[in-house]
Amino acid sequence: MKSICYGTSLMFVRRHVFSFLFFFVPVLPAVSDVNLTVLLDRSTVYEGETLFYELILSDTKPIDTQLQPDISALTDFTVEALPKQQEQSGGVMQKIVINGKVIKDETSGKEYRVHFCFVLTPKKTGSLVIPLPRIIPAGGNALQPAEFVVRIGETKMQPDGSVPIQVVIPEKQNDDVLLEITANRTKLYPQQPLELTLTVLIKALPGRFGNRNPLELINKPPVLQVPWMASDAQLPKGLTPVKPMEALLQSWLIQSDRGGFSINGFSGNQSRIKGFTDDLFAGPFGTNPFKKALYQFSGAPKKIRRYAADGLEYDYWEYRFRRDFLPKETGEYSFGPVTLKGGVPVGTTIQTADSPDPVQLKTLFAAAKALHIAVIDVPAANRPADYIGAFGTFRFETDIKPQKAKIGDPITLTLKLTGNGSTLNVKAPDLSLPAIHDVFRVHTPPTEEHSEQSCIYTYTLRPKQSGKIEFPPLPVSVFDVETEKFVRLESLPITLDITDAETVQSATVYGAISGSTAEQTEANVKKIADRAVTVSKYIGIGIGTLLGLYVLGKLTLWTAVFIKRSRNNRRNSALRRAGQQLSAAERLTASIPAVDKTLQVKALQSVFFGYAADKTDGIAEGMTTSEAAAKLRELHLDETLVTEIQQLLETLDAVQYGGHTAPELNSLIAETKKLLQRIDN
């Protein structure tokens, strides 16, 4: 159950000057130098009302900022902490100088105070207790209150230091004032608009004031406590207001000191119509010298006819305050209760010098019970198997890049759901369709990007067949909250041009890693051989064909032996060079930000691409995962080992093209080390 119990949280930030009307009970003074005073605004409240509870620490020296009250014993109340306030007073300097001599030079003692303020909402009716708070200074004992002040009502201290209070059920609403909370629906789906309305009815005055708004005839506005009209930040998760609270308050504000209600204690300069959440009421424990007048809100009053409890029809003045929400998540929400407290006009008087007021006031407390709203999930009956959890109106698209590739090459598939609605519970579409898996190998899981209005899923695919192949239309279902029906969406097919994988067969092309020693050596050998052949040609011409052929044969034989020896050296050092490449990949991963994953992945892939090229006299540049696996099988490695290496290389492709995230590279490096060790063994 998600409950809104925060309506008064912006009402009270206190700077206190204690009233002589307070009753207090002295308690043993605190052992610590820190003095504790406990304040409670009243000992009797109606159901749905809130209490204001304050703890004041005072001392002649700065107070430890780490001190915090333990209020866990307040189990019978919903507790909301208001911002902590710190202040200091005193510190007046006196300096007396006579004939140039300082006779007196002192500063009167300062007093430091810290205020901990709480809003308490009783969870039940009957007799409850406010337990003694626990505040323990560093290295000391729990503080005992020097005073426990109750502003209205008696303070009956229990032996354990607690103070009892009474939570009473309000009298049944009479016909003078009526409150009602209504909604356009009590069951709805996520993303369906929720219209929540508070209606206040005040019986019209008889006689000459019958056509006057009765609130214009009184000096002090009645006080409304409306939970869902507090700060937007305090709304429960999953409930989004259509308009910010400040915009609504501006629309209801009246530029007068009469004619409306006070809502949640919002106050400020009446000529100011912005920044309601910045102007906070001073509180019941004192007078704030900076306190501003209460704002008044009218809610577009109009006169209506309505039947009363006696069965007769009367004129009423109606005030309506509506707020719209868009629920984003399923769950139970509670709105209320709403209370009204204060004087309302119930009749007229004869104005005299002793009684100048034209209307007769009656102090009332009225309450409207909480309204419970259920935000429900889509019906289980007839729910499509491809339903992905989206509420609203959407479109669904697919994209594949590149659309020309070879068998086994990684390609990127992007699925995109965009529109208006709730995407909080959307899951990735199901790609386990035969039409997809028969043609493509799919790397899962995909990468995901979510926003309020879109979901993007990126996969890595590998074609299994050559020719003109098709990625088929992909179906998904969403729930349209307007029609309250499932809607099937289907992407368009995409045709791909896939060719057979090329295999490098050249026995005279060498080099696994650009700039490697073996590659440079063989290149130099080829140059020497070419020069030797050229020199032999001219020598042959000069000294005769027979001698030329003899020298040419010797040089060719020498070159062949040198190249063969170089090839053997390359094959024998393949594992060592792979280890060196792995070390380079580790250094690269540690030095380059994780977002730059392309270089990291290529460095790690080159470990096995280079090993396969070195062992088979091939080239690593441009090698694919399938080509590397084929070359490793030529070396008669264990098939299980080759399969695991191939899977690792495919995972690296997925990292590069969208199937995994960069932070997984560390675990992939560890796996590479294990596989190299198995090759060595």
**What residues of the chain score a pLDDT lower than 70?**
1-32, 90-109, 171-174, 268-292, 349-357, 502-556, 558-564, 566, 589-597, 656-664
What pLDDT, on the 0 to 100 scale, is given for residue 586? 77
What pLDDT, on the 0 to 100 scale, is given for residue 566? 67
What pLDDT, on the 0 to 100 scale, is given for residue 322? 95
Is the C-alpha dihedral spanning 223, 229, 232, 236 positive or negative?
A: positive
What pLDDT, on the 0 to 100 scale, is given for residue 354? 55
What pLDDT, on the 0 to 100 scale, is given for residue 638? 86
Torsion (CA) 242, 246, 249, 251 in degrees, nearest 10 = -70
- Concatenated DSSP letters for 473-496? P-EEEEEETTTTEEEEEEPPPEEE
- Which whole-number Å values give the CA distances from 442 to 464, 474, 493, in the listed order? 10, 14, 17
- Which whole-number Å values give the CA distances from 117 to 84, 91, 290, 403, in the listed order? 7, 26, 18, 65
What pLDDT, on the 0 to 100 scale, is given for residue 626? 81
What pLDDT, on the 0 to 100 scale, is given for residue 315? 93
Cα-Cα end-to-end distance for the chain? 61
669 vs 604: CA distance, rounded Å: 7
Q: Which two tokens stand for residue 404?
A: 């020309």
CB 196 within 8 A of CB 216: no
Where are the chain's structural domains?
Answer: 2-168, 177-375, 387-499, 517-680
Q: Which two tokens stand for residue 218?
A: 């009184």
SS (H, E, C) 176-196: CEEEEEEECCCEECCCCCEEE
How do 371-375 and 187-188 pair as beta strands?
A: parallel
What pLDDT, on the 0 to 100 scale, is given for residue 648? 82
User: According to the CATH classification, is domain 387-499 in 2.60.40?
Assistant: yes
